[in-house]
Amino acid sequence: MARIQSQLSMKQLFWITFAVVLAVLPQLYRLPIWFLPMALMVISYRFYAQINHIKKAWNTLLMFLALLVLVLIIFSQGLTLSREISVTILISMAVLKLLETYTMRDALLVVMLCYFVTMTRFLYSQDLLLIFYLLGSAFITTHALSVLNYEKSARWFDRQQIKSTAASLSLAVPFAILFFLVFPRLGSPIWGSPDFFGEGKTGISDTMSPGSIIELFMDDSPAFRVTFDDGVVPPNAQLYWRGPVLWHFDGRTWSRQKHNSLRQTMRQYGDAETIAYQIEQENTGQNYMFSLDYVTDSAGKGFLLPDSTLYSMTTINQLRHYELKSVLLERFYQDLSDHNRRLLLTYPANQNQRTLALIRQWQAEDPNPLAVVNRALQKFNQEDFYYSFTPPPLEGEVIDEFLFESRRGFCEHYASTFTIMMRMAGIPARVVTGYQGGIDNGEYLLVKQSDAHAWSEVYIEPAQGSGYWMRIDPTSMVAPERVESGSQNIMTEKRHWIDFEWLRDTKESLDKYRYQWNQWVRDFNVSKQEALFKAIGFEYRDGKTLALLMMAILLFTALLTLIPMWWLKRQRHHTLQRLYLQLVRTIKHNPALYDQHRKGIEHLTAEIIKTYPESEPRMQHFLALYLQARYSKQAPKKQQLLQHLQKTLNQIKPILQASKAP
């Protein structure tokens, strides 16, 4: 192959590649499995070509590679337009572009792409920790841009150039804050444009099978945060955060019922009876909103389905804030239609016959529904049942196997088994999934994914009066400490190899800063912006007013940024001028020489040396220090130079004052 001298230096290629790698790194776990080997091969070949001065690859070959990568993307991620496929194409093209980055034009294009690749990470999350990634990636990319345009030193890590990059970025910080505060925004939080692709981190889902909630128990990431209006947190045993309600059971998996109506309005409760609170829910990619049983009124925050599930009108793919009022009830009175009663009494026929026989025996002894409920709870409480997050797998007839053989399970095992037992007894019952408890984290209650829980609801129809729903948590019969103290306090062994108490405590402490970040940055929406404008005296905003305000603030911010820089520079120049004037006053007794100072330091130095030859070594040293302090951008420390100048001038003064011109 032909060999030519590359137009880019090895230093420039290193910083460009570093910028690409850092921009792509946080996205690796989302990218197809073939991406990492492809990226390593591209980077390795590019440095090999740089070292061996190999001419860039043929355009035909580059086009073939681009088409091959496009085919791989479609094969691994499908042809449907989505956020994933769009980001993957952008990242892949940025990496492949390195293969033809031999000229300054191509190098600048790659650096610009790095800024866009970095921003794509914020399409998935805007967490506080990502701000450090943004700053790091922006710094490296900006430094790569600086190296491309101002390669002053052959050293790959030039300290002065790195400081210059940091200074340049620091100038942008005030303007970034300004635009964040005053730039017009939509009626959603920052980064809150609707997510059309329906992606998010799933927590509780609308199905449940053995092991599904155990997986969440291993996850300590936040599910939502709660603040109570009066600051009083109810007892842990009353903190049941309702999510999807499951009606249908196929012998192994529970699923929800689709409704075409809303829940009837509850009777009015006084403020003393209700609990007012706000929830900050993390994105889930689903429509379920979590609430404390039972919500009195959703107030337009979502739909209240007939089974008291709070259902969002839009998919929750960003941080969601909402306010609710709930009432803690032991009995929730509600009519049950004949159709729903039939649904809530169904169970797989010809399965779990041992459980069915046990229920028939209990009914023969006492047919009262509440008596059957109590017999089931007594069985869990008094016999050898164990609460375990590592239960044996269940196959076949899972209810019989759990109830009579394994007897070890997590909350979903107990809720599922109890609900089917009630249906066998002719008592309408359903499974409720959600979260139970939470951790007091100072200003708010932190509910983690590991607080995921499942319980049962049974419908009791007394001989007289209205029917009502009653919450039954069979897990509390086996492990009451789970309900009273929370999921975290019952762990006696590690859930996984990095499950340390100090690590959990650290995550909870860091979440306090994340909460503040969410309050002041992620949730800075149009109403908060309007409140800010009103606070500074702008009641009404139009395009002209907003433009004038932004121009005024930009000017003010620019002055605040530039004045300190000008003052520091002026101070340094003022000190140099003072030293120069000291030198001039020293030769004032010689009018002919004194008149030469208007021609500049270099001319004056030459004339002084001619007049006073014995001053030459010190005058040359003074001139060198002066020029370095005045012009050099690589001076180690300006203050030290000024001190050396003063010291040298003090040595020169006696020579000039003692000597007399002939």
pLDDT tens digits for 468-500?
999 999 999 998 888 887 777 776 677 766 777
Q: Mark whether 95 and 214 lie in a shared domain.
A: no
Pair of tokens at residue 265: 């309005």
d(CA 417, CA 403): 7
d(CA 142, CA 112): 9
DSSP letter for each residue of 500-545 = -HHHHHHHHHHHHHHHHHIIIIIT--HHHHHHHHHHTT--S--HHH
d(CA 56, CA 7): 11
Q: Mark whether 240 and 106 lie in a shared domain.
A: no
pLDDT, residue 564, reads 62
pTM for this model (two decimals): 0.69
- Whats the size of the chain, residue-wise? 662
Q: Mark whether 466 and 593 lie in a shared domain.
A: no
Which of 123, 149, 175 is the C-terminal boundary of a domain? 149
Structural domain contains residue 183: no
The structural domain count of the chain equals 3
What is the mean predicted confidence (pLDDT) over 282-300? Answer: 86
Q: Mark whether 225 and 312 lie in a shared domain.
A: yes
What is the mean predicted confidence (pLDDT) over 253-258? Answer: 92
Structural domain contains residue 164: no
Q: Mark whether 211 and 109 lie in a shared domain.
A: no
Q: Mark whether 46 and 111 lie in a shared domain.
A: yes
- Domain residue limits at 606: 547-658
Name the CA dihedral angle for 409, 415, 419, 425, rounded to a multiple of 10 degrees: 60
> Which residues are bridge partners to 310 per DSSP?
289, 304
Q: Mark whether 596 and 448 lie in a shared domain.
A: no
pLDDT tens digits for 434-463?
999 999 988 899 999 999 999 999 999 988
Q: Mark whether 565 and 635 lie in a shared domain.
A: yes
Confidence of residue 40 (pLDDT cuts 50, 70, 90): very high
Confidence of residue 359 (pLDDT cuts 50, 70, 90): very high
- Residues 159-163: contacts with CB under 8 Å, at least 24 apart: 160/633, 160/634
HSE, CB side, 13 Å, CA atoms: give it for residue 432. Answer: 28
Structural domain contains residue 390: yes
Quote the distance between the C-alpha of residue 572 and its chain's center: 43
Structural domain contains residue 48: yes
Structural domain contains residue 163: no
pLDDT tens digits for 111-155?
999 999 998 887 777 777 788 888 899 999 999 998 888 765 667
The mean of the pLDDT values for the chain is 83
Structural domain contains residue 136: yes
d(CA 254, CA 423): 14
Q: Mark whether 654 and 564 lie in a shared domain.
A: yes
Q: Mark whether 223 and 131 lie in a shared domain.
A: no
